[in-house]
Structure 1
Amino acid sequence: MEAETSPQRISVFDEYILASDLPQRQKRVLKACLVLFSTKGYSDTTTSDIARLAGVSEGTVYKHFRTKKDLLTALAVPFTDRFLPSNAFESVLDRAKNMESVPDFNEFLYQITYDRFLFVSDNREILRVFLRDGIRRTDAFDLARERFVTSLAAALAKVIHLYQARGELIDWPEAVICRFVFGAWMGYVLPNVILSDQSFDIEKASHRVALTLSRGLAPQTSVQ
């Protein structure tokens, strides 16, 4: 009997490219951008670098994308839609429809953290592009953070209220709680996405983050 194999995961960028009806040359330009922006950085990449790696002329690059900023925006399209929490936590949120099946707060935090860290691992290149640029431009990073926090709070509002009613979670506004979650996630994402090419133990990291958050946000250990 043959052993079962898990379906191969692909990045949201590769998924987008496979499903897209864009011309092949345009796809090659976007792929080249992702590689170069993630390795050399957005500022240090020239259109001639992109054209050379894509195997096209600079004129072809400009035909599809008028500026380098347009290229960065094009890379963002498939990524931002999939990273927003309304799509990110479908499996966990489905369980929340039947509130009795929702796990304890620590386990819930582990599940959503593992889910997002797996996403980070699969999309390291494109995350590196956005985080590098965002860190240089604090205003862009702050805007992205607040957009993420607002979306996360909206997606998890019902679940947050459930854990607050159970006495497992401090009675703070959803956005405040989600900022703590965001900060804990970024504490692992930044060094492992920006500063390292090595894989990291997603399961161990997820358990550590979940434990830290569940303790830090517990009513008896939190300051009102």
Structure 2
Amino acid sequence: MSEPIEEWLEELNKLGDEKSMTDKQLKIVRAASEIFAEKGFAASSTNEIAQRAGVAEGTIFRHYKTKKELLVSIVAPVMAKLVAPFVMREFYKVLDSKYESYDQMLRAIIENRLAFLEKHLHVLKIFIQEIPFHPELQEQFEKLILAKVFEKITPNIRRFQEEGSLVNWSPYTIMRLTASSLIGYAAVRTLYGKREGSSWDDEQEREATIAFIMKGLAP
């Protein structure tokens, strides 16, 4: 049972507007979070979740009508209650800071988000695996994450464009291209770079990614 999952559950249970979860609900959500992260939603069964939670399978269906409802009860509230006050809290400090150049801001973003990714990878795997397949989760993600990040980054992008250091494309396009490169770097780093015996040079790959972005966005 990992500490990050315990941390998320603690925040989830105390930040909600509705009544706190019962002990059995906490056990169910904890077990489901672990199994969804390990195996993915489609390959998980309510029987397996019940066994790990130490409850009868019928107990799950007394709280959640379907496995999908259990997934949404974990992911959607976590986004709604944790993204702004918890997940985005440290990120806002980075986005609200003033930077001399776009590449300086990229380095700060990478350092901040990689630390968060490594700490919460077990739970975040659920988001990564399931968001593409569930429209209600996509809507939550766009509303609670993308919209807030776009709002924070746009003024910086506008300032760098006015200074002549970034191409005069829409901030949305610049963010999309930047995010694609950064997510690709983070994904390969997580899947390959951490393996024993890997030839991955993280500093070199990070700087190459930033250089690629800066050259592509040069005016």
TM-score bucket (shorter structure):
0.7 to 0.9
Shift of the alpha carbon at 1:202? 6.8
For residues 155 and 111 of structure 2, what CA distance do their matches in structure 1 show?
A: 20
Q: How does 1:163-174 map to 2 (within 5 A)?
A: 163-174=160-171
Shift of the alpha carbon at 1:160? 0.9
Does 2:89 match 1:90?
no
Shift of the alpha carbon at 1:140? 7.9
Does 2:177 match 1:175?
no
Secondary structure of 2:124 counterpart:
helix
Contact 1:28 / 1:54 at 8 angstroms: preserved in 2?
Answer: yes
Q: How does 1:51-130 map to 2 (within 5 A)?
A: 51-76=50-75, 77-79=77-79, 82-83=82-83, 87=89, 89-96=91-98, 102-130=99-127
- Aligned equivalent of 1:50: 49
Contact 1:107 / 1:210 at 8 angstroms: preserved in 2?
Answer: no
For residues 16 and 144 of structure 1, what CA distance do their matches in structure 2 show?
A: 17
Q: Indicate the larger mover: 161-170 or 70-79.
A: 70-79
Does 2:206 match 1:209?
no
Secondary structure of 1:28 counterpart:
helix
Contact 1:170 / 1:218 at 8 angstroms: preserved in 2?
Answer: yes
Shift of the alpha carbon at 1:205? 5.1
| CA distance 1:203–1:120, change in 2 (3 Å) | farther
For residues 60 and 45 of structure 1, what CA distance do their matches in structure 2 show?
A: 17
For residues 27 and 74 of structure 2, what CA distance do their matches in structure 1 show?
A: 12
* TM-score, reference length from structure 1: 0.74
Letter in 2 for 1:179: R
Contact 2:94 / 2:108 at 8 angstroms: preserved in 1?
Answer: yes
Contact 1:110 / 1:209 at 8 angstroms: preserved in 2?
Answer: no
Shift of the alpha carbon at 1:183? 0.8
| CA distance 1:17–1:120, change in 2 (3 Å) | same
Can you give the 5+ residue segments of structure 1 that lack an aligned partner in the other structure?
1-9, 97-101, 220-224
| CA distance 1:95–1:192, change in 2 (3 Å) | closer
For residues 205 and 71 of structure 1, what CA distance do their matches in structure 2 show?
A: 39
* TM-score, reference length from structure 2: 0.75
For residues 182 and 212 of structure 2, what CA distance do their matches in structure 1 show?
A: 11
Q: How does 1:132-171 map to 2 (within 5 A)?
A: 132-134=129-131, 137=133, 148-171=145-168
Does 2:7 match 1:15?
yes
Letter in 2 for 1:158: P
Q: Indicate the larger mover: 74-83 or 169-178.
A: 74-83
Contact 2:193 / 2:202 at 8 angstroms: preserved in 1?
Answer: no
Contact 1:47 / 1:58 at 8 angstroms: preserved in 2?
Answer: yes
- Aligned equivalent of 2:29: 30
> How far does the alpha carbon of each residue in 1:132-165 deviate from its partner, in whole angstroms, 9 at most, with x for none?
2345x39789868865544432221111111112
For residues 193 and 56 of structure 2, what CA distance do their matches in structure 1 show?
A: 31
Contact 2:72 / 2:137 at 8 angstroms: preserved in 1?
Answer: no
Q: Percent identity?
A: 24
Can you give the 5+ residue segments of structure 2 that lack an aligned partner in the other structure?
14-19
For residues 122 and 25 of structure 1, what CA distance do their matches in structure 2 show?
A: 26
Secondary structure of 1:70 counterpart:
helix
